[in-house]
A and B are shown apart, each in its own frame.
Chain A
Amino acid sequence: MIETGTLWTIIILLGIGSFGLRFVFTGLVGNRAMPDWLLRHLRYTAVAILPALVAPQVMWPTATDGVFDIPRAAAAVVTLTVGLATKNVLWAVFSGAATLYGLLFLLG
């Protein structure tokens, strides 16, 4: 059982901390120029962090208790391939979902 006082402490401090992390650069740096080397790195934030976030979920999905799963891995490959080929987010989502459900049904 979680104590009410502890819970609210955590909610409030976690809220402040999370906002702080989200605001630290947009808020404090604002309109000031950032050095070139930093900007050069920041250009790759999205293409580095998001694949890194997804990769373990593709290799070891939570839903299968971390066991490699062919439908999920295939769906990831198809989504990425269609996304790269068509540059179209919706096509990529639909082909990925179709692969996932198709294979889950076939291999079910």
Chain B
Amino acid sequence: MTTTTRKSAYRQGIIDSSPFILVIIPFATLFGVLATEAGLNVLETMAFSIVVIAGAAQFTALQLMQENTPTVIVLISALAVNLRMAMYSASLTPYIGAAPLWQRALCAYVTVDQSYVVGVSKFEREPDMTVPERVAYFMGAVTPIVPLWYVFTLVGALVGTRVPESWALDFAIPIAFLAMIAPMFRTAAHVVAALTAVVVALLAAGVPYSLGLIIAGIAGMIAGAQTELWFERKGAPK
């Protein structure tokens, strides 16, 4: 384990997550704009993005606060939106659980959808990476994302103009995630997991507190695990 391989892992992380730059900019700007419109000053808006650092949960909290929802309900709703982060944490543990505590804490703070998907797909592809390389790669993957999240929250709060809707940047998020997930379908079990999760997510879209997503995720994971077991019992190649 040398400094050079850590540095190159870090650089590779930056390169691999750079497609998300286009996603983060309009999303962060929009949060800055909406928070300002809701009456938050620049300090409060920035504190929100820096302390919470979770797009969808921030939008949820902001919306509910404006509707004068009781604080407890705001917290439960926003944390429910973020519940998938606990699943990301579990899924990252086999890869970076052996890192020093401060590094795990730092990785936890910057675990967002984008850094998670970039990180976990790399760790799956290259099982021989060392733990320090994985941490370096993960930190690389957040480098184009998290600073831009702060900066463009600020831009949105100060400038107050959102990216025009006709640019259709709302759809940058689904496109970026789909592009990132596609290479991860390495076995039939992965495909079954994804299809199950999609069907359940659509059926459970009306479940309150965004819990439909968690139900769909767990259903997909069970389907994937069962498919894997089924292939193992058949003795067929996975």
Q: For A2, give the chain B residue with the smallest CB separation.
A: B65
Do A92 and B178 touch (CB < 8 A)?
A: yes
Do B175 and A14 touch (CB < 8 A)?
A: no
Cβ distance B193 to chain A, nearest Cβ, rounded Å = 4
A79 to B175, CA, bound (A): 6
Do B181 and A50 touch (CB < 8 A)?
A: yes
Report chain B residues within 8 Å CB of A47: 181, 184-185, 190, 193-194, 197, 220, 224
Known contacts A18-B85, A26-B93, A89-B180: A49-B104 contact under CB 8 Å = no
Chain A contact-residue range equals 35 or more
Cβ distance B232 to chain A, nearest Cβ, rounded Å = 10
Report chain A residues within 8 Å CB of B107: 26
A79 to B223, CA, bound (A): 24
A40 to B92, CA, bound (A): 13
Do A46 and B82 touch (CB < 8 A)?
A: no
**B98 contacts the other chain (Cβ, under 8 Å)?**
yes
**B183 contacts the other chain (Cβ, under 8 Å)?**
yes
Main secondary structure of the interface of A (DSSP, over half): helix
**B105 contacts the other chain (Cβ, under 8 Å)?**
yes
Do A83 and B179 touch (CB < 8 A)?
A: yes
Do A52 and B198 touch (CB < 8 A)?
A: yes
Do B86 and A55 touch (CB < 8 A)?
A: no
Do B221 and A83 touch (CB < 8 A)?
A: no
Residues in A lying within 8 Å of B, measured CB to CB: 1-2, 4, 6-15, 17-19, 21-27, 29-32, 34, 37-63, 71-72, 75-76, 79-80, 82-84, 87-90, 92-93, 96-97, 100-101, 104
A selection of 30 A-B contacts at a CB cut-off of 8 Å is A1-B39, A10-B75, A11-B44, A22-B86, A22-B108, A25-B89, A25-B97, A30-B101, A31-B97, A31-B98, A41-B222, A41-B224, A41-B225, A43-B91, A45-B217, A47-B181, A49-B84, A50-B180, A52-B217, A53-B201, A54-B177, A63-B170, A71-B168, A72-B171, A72-B174, A84-B185, A92-B175, A93-B19, A93-B176, A97-B172
